[in-house]
Amino acid sequence: MADAIVRALLQGSNLKVSVAVLTQTAREGRARHRLKAASASLFAQGLLGGALMASLQKGETRINLQLECDGPMRGFFVDAAANGDIRGYVKNPDVDVELSEGVFQWRAALGNSGFISVLRDVGGEYYRSSVELVSMRLADDLNYYFKTSDQVATRVALTVQREGSEGLGRVAGVLVQAMPEADHEALERIGRDLESKLEDAVAHLDTLEANALLGALFPGVPALVELPVRFTCTCSKERALATVENLGVDEVQHIVDTLGSTAVSCQFCGSKHEISLPELFAMLARLGRPQPKH
């Protein structure tokens, strides 16, 4: 089943809802960056958080959700577009610590301090806001972010459930946000057991799919928009060539003389763009230093 995010409105209480299912996206992120279990699980949560926040954006805009911490994970970066395109990376792909149960679950990976930072594109202007991590649990810290920084009443819940030997068995999240003249008591009520309801619904659906999950969480509420989500990147061979060419003629010459070829690795998606010796020669010719024929 393809990953998607659906948006809906709770009529009467003026609350908007986004529901995301990102199981395939999270697995693709794990494969691209060769993530070990704990890194993959945190990244799955980061992708959920980023996709849910991007679903609040208008038009062709995007958001960056970043976490920095003093534990071995060091943090993650997620770049999510309002159209469902998403990419990112974990700073340390190799974290494989045993996660304990309960509220201190993530301390071994995240440490004891850090912050969440959100960069939002609002009509071509960028706004950055950040908050310190207080819970060291992404969903709780996102709730804290919305409360202190965004100041729009919002509740977020995330779940990453194991299925047998698959650590990323089911990956899903939900966000409920107040609109003008919202019923804040209703939001309060929904927020109280949003996480347990999400966990329950995700575990019990025969097929985990965003529309069905919306129906399980908010029976009878129709989806207004359904958007496919996919792990994709804006990098390309052309951009890699431009990056190397921008190093300048002496640096390109140095690569030719010492290495003979090079590669540009993309931090966001793990792709490696190889640049061959003939391509470097063509570059030097463009830069005004044609090479003697070999």
Summarize as ranges the residues that interact with Zn ion (CB under 5 A).
233, 235, 266, 268-269, 271
Choice between 244 and 266, CB closer to Zn ion = 266
Residue 258 in tokens: 């010492």
Choice between 234 and 261, CB closer to Zn ion = 234
Nearest residue to 32 (alpha-carbon basis) of 47, 18, 20: 47
Q: Shortest distance, CB of residue 89 to Zn ion, whole angstroms? A: 10
Residue 137 in tokens: 């649990």
Q: Cα-Cα-Cα-Cα dihedral of 37, 166, 104, 138, to 10°?
A: 80
Q: What CA–CA distance (Å, rounded) separates 249 from 246?
A: 8
Q: Shortest distance, CB of residue 240 to Zn ion, whole angstroms? A: 9
Q: Shortest distance, CB of residue 239 to Zn ion, whole angstroms? A: 9
Q: Shortest distance, CB of residue 272 to Zn ion, whole angstroms? A: 10
Choice between 87 and 137, CB closer to Zn ion = 87
Q: Shortest distance, CB of residue 231 to Zn ion, whole angstroms? A: 10
Choice between 77 and 268, CB closer to Zn ion = 268
**Coil, strand, or helix at residue 119?**
strand
Pairing of strands 75-81, 85-90: antiparallel
C-alpha distances out from residue 192 to 32, 40, 187, 195, Å: 36, 28, 9, 8
Q: What CA–CA distance (Å, rounded) separates 255 from 251?
A: 6
Pairing of strands 125-132, 114-122: antiparallel
Choice between 18 and 66, CB closer to Zn ion = 66
Q: Shortest distance, CB of residue 247 to Zn ion, whole angstroms? A: 19
Choice between 146 and 231, CB closer to Zn ion = 231
Q: What CA–CA distance (Å, rounded) separates 171 from 231?
A: 14
**Coil, strand, or helix at residue 183?**
coil
